[in-house]
Amino acid sequence: MAKKGQKFRHYPFSLKMQAVQMRLQGVTKREVAERLGIHDVSRLKVWLRQYKLKGSEGLQDRRGGRKRPLQKDEYVRQLELENDVLK
């Protein structure tokens, strides 16, 4: 759990990919963290799991992305559902 005032580190996609590739080549987590300057060794475990599940797409940062605009028929469907709820 995060502590009050705690700063979170952001790692670029290229560094994550490099770390995952090093782990797949057999380099230990501690060595990877020391070489690349990663402060939390357990992050490597998370990145490796995400990479195995979703490939390189799993390492992309998805925070703060815009939602895609609704198509006309999707928008109409959403409004119809809202009207049904309000009835």
**pLDDT tens track for 10-58:** 899 999 999 999 999 999 999 999 999 998 899 999 999 999 999 988 8
Residue ranges in 1-87 assigned as alpha helix (H): 13-24, 29-36, 42-54, 72-86
- Provide the whole-model pTM: 0.65
Considering only CA atoms, which of 46, 64, 67, 51 is closest in space to residue 17? 51
Report the amino acid identity of residue 12: P
- Domain regions of the chain by residue span: 11-61
Angle 57-63-69 (CA atoms, 0-180°, nearest 5)? Answer: 90
Is 77 in contact with 83 (CB distance < 8 Å)? Answer: no
